[in-house]
């Protein structure tokens, strides 16, 4: 599944798609997975609880956010692939972060959850029928399984960059 073309620079998700590497979606998901997991392997439990400023998320919360978003976007892609009339579920990332209880989890368990979720994401996109890649929903900001897959890949890279720049 090739990267979407003719993206509007003003669309919020375009920045994530532009960060995604590779020429095919599965390749891109694997590349971002490898980069994310390799960087996380350098972080210990103590560091995972670090916030770079008051009111900001911990590293655990950033990773949990990536996991939550990936799960939500796969659910959106499934809905769109099966039903072009679906309504996309919205979410508030700050509300989710304030209720994620990542502070009660071991960093290692959060990282393992990310690994499982990404493997599920890859499996999901491999199973999609080519005829549903470009099913679209939305007014103004259009979403399709193709767009969503590339958002997922770039979103994790975006947050990896944030972790490297502000936390490490």
pLDDT of residue 7: 75
Cα Rg of the chain (Å, integer): 16
Question: Is 99 contained in some domain?
Answer: yes
Task: Give 134-157 pLDDT, tens digit per residue.
Answer: 888 876 678 899 999 999 999 999
Question: Is 38 contained in some domain?
Answer: yes
State the Cα–Cα distance between residues 103 and 59, nearest whole angstrom.
10
Task: Give 63-117 pLDDT, tens digit per residue.
Answer: 999 999 999 999 999 999 998 888 887 888 889 888 999 999 999 999 999 999 9
Question: Is 159 contained in some domain?
Answer: yes
What is the 3 state secondary structure string of the chain? Answer: CECCCCCCCCCCCHHHHHHCCCCEHHHHHHHHHHHHHHHHCCCCHHHHCCCCCCCCCCHHHHHHHHHHHHHHHHHHHHHHHHCCCCCCCCCCHHHHHHCCCHHHCCHHHHHHHHHHHHHHHHHHHHHCCHHHCCCCECCCCCECHHHHHHHHHHHHHHHHHHHHHHHC
Query: In total, how many domains does the chain have?
Result: 1
More reliable by pLDDT, 22 or 85:
22
- Name residue, tokens 């919020």: 12
pLDDT of residue 10: 63
Q: Check if the beta carbon of residue 100 is closer than 8 Å to that of residue 69.
A: no
Question: Is 9 contained in some domain?
Answer: no
State the Cα–Cα distance between residues 120 and 20, nearest whole angstrom.
18
Q: What is the mean pLDDT of the chain?
A: 93
State the Cα–Cα distance between residues 102 and 113, nearest whole angstrom.
12
CATH number at residue 44: 1.20.120.450
Question: Is 75 contained in some domain?
Answer: yes
Question: Is 17 contained in some domain?
Answer: no
Question: Is 70 contained in some domain?
Answer: yes
Task: Give 7-19 pLDDT, tens digit per residue.
Answer: 776 678 899 999 9
Q: Say whether pLDDT at 53 is over 90.
A: yes
pLDDT of residue 9: 66
Q: What is the mean pLDDT of residues 120-136?
A: 93
Question: Is 10 contained in some domain?
Answer: no
- Name residue, tokens 């499996």: 123
Whole domain around residue 28: which residue ranges? 22-167
């Amino acid at each position: 599944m090739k990267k979407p073309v003719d993206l509007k620079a003003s669309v919020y998700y375009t920045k994530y798609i532009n960060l995604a590497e590779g020429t095919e979606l599965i390749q891109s998901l694997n590349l971002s997975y490898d980069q994310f997991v390799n960087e996380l392997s350098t972080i210990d439990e103590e560091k995972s609880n670090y916030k770079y400023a008051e009111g900001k998320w911990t590293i655990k919360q950033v990773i949990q956010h990536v996991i939550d978003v990936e799960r939500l976007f796969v659910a959106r892609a499934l809905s769109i692939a099966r039903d072009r009339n679906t309504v996309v579920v919205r979410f508030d990332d700050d509300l989710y972060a304030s209720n994620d209880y990542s502070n009660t989890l071991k960093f290692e368990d959060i990282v393992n959850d990310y690994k499982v979720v990404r493997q599920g994401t890859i499996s999901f996109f491999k199973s999609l029928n080519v005829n549903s890649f470009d099913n679209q929903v939305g007014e103004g900001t259009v979403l399709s399984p193709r767009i969503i897959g590339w958002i997922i890949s770039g979103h994790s890279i975006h947050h990896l960059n944030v972790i490297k720049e502000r936390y490490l």
